[in-house]
Amino acid sequence: MPAFSLEPEQTTWCAELRALAAERLKPLAERGEPGRVNRPLVAALGDLGLLSRLFEAGALDLCLLRESLARVCTEAETALALQGLGTHPVAAFGTPAQRARWLPEAAAGRAVAAFALSEPDAGSDAAALALDAVPDGRGGWHLHGEKRWISNAPEADFATVFARTTPGAGARGVTAFLVPADRPGLGGEPLDMLAPHVLGTLVFDGVPVGPDDLLGAPDRGFRVAMHTLNLFRPSVGAFAVGMAQAALDAALAHTAARPAFGGVLADLQAVSHRIAEMATRTEAARLLVHAAASAYDRGDPDVPRRSAMAKLLATETAQYVVDSAVQLHGAAALQRGHLLEHLYREVRAPRIYEGATEVQRTIIAKDLYARHHGERHHEEVRHHGEARHHEEQGHVSPRKEPAP
């Protein structure tokens, strides 16, 4: 069911993406080794022009890309998204030399990117990160510490790395660096996760970085991180909507054909009402994702709140829809290799990464209260200004004379 906000050419493009995913990308994904970077798949995304489109796209295009691929092949969706997440800081904040070196390689799928923000003790609280950038006395730094739960680590060819350049300064003391994988002192190992994603650690043992490696200004790396996350948060919601739609499609097909109690499962009101709820929540999440992405593309000031709302609703909705689809299928959905078994493992992580559900609620609430206090202050200033204007014009409010 297309959202009312999409133009016909957009819905046509989404259908073409799904066909490409089924014909060209899914076979490559199935031949990949779980938990390893699938370089033929990344290269195919480049050959099809999807990676270059990704780096040029606005937020709504990014969401349409991710939802369309996720409905057919979550591995292709994830490979595309990780290229975007790791490369966007270079595209948005990189120097001309950095952009010339890495953007063509990333867009062609020849260089794999990573976005290295999370640490063992700094996940949702990104301002608490502690990877230490120690000045080397010559205008550069040496990086010491560890990043954890980093997608494409440790196999990425380059990484956007966030390090602490000013101790005790919170978000104001973080700097972003572009770190090629061949830097001395850089290591890491893969992590074995519930869903076999390419996820691992990056260990920094005095890794040298210099002014030419900066992404943006020193101590302004938090802006780089938030600029990237504000763009990608709605598209995490789009990924979730794609999985929800795939689960809903599977549940519709199954319940319409599965014999039960002299009819089919769809004849049972409990089943049909569950399907209706799944469809309604999925469409509501899709519309909120599109609204947040459109707000980003327009440059609206409330993008952080809208992005948080989109990610929150869409990821929680996808969890509900996939779980409901498993329930309607029964034991068959739990068999290894079943679409829903795959989605059941895939759908859990988006509620955590790029800001957990609880963090999104905090972002939303803070913005709402700030707007509330701002509106009250504006109203008080307006009333004060009107009263002063009346006084200056010699107007006196009528008042009752005291009783004799």
Strand ranges (E), 287-352? none
Nearest to 201 by CA among 214, 210, 213, 192: 192
For residues 67 and 318, the answer to whether their CB atoms sit within 8 Å is no
Residue 354 a catalytic site member = yes
Enumerate residues 6+ apart whose C-beta is below 8 A from 238.
62, 63, 64, 65, 66, 67, 70, 289, 293, 314
Residues 6+ apart with CB under 8 A from 213: 177, 178, 179
Angle in degrees, 0-180, between the axes of helices 303-329 and 339-346, rounded to the nearest 10 = 150
Instruction: Point out the catalytic residue in the list 7, 346, 354, 392.
Output: 354
DSSP state of 142: E
Neighbours of 267 (CB within 10 A): 13
CA 179/CA 273 separation, integer angstroms: 52
CA distance 220 to 163: 11
DSSP secondary-structure letter at 190?
B
CA dist., res. 144 & res. 131, Å (int): 6
Active site residues: 354
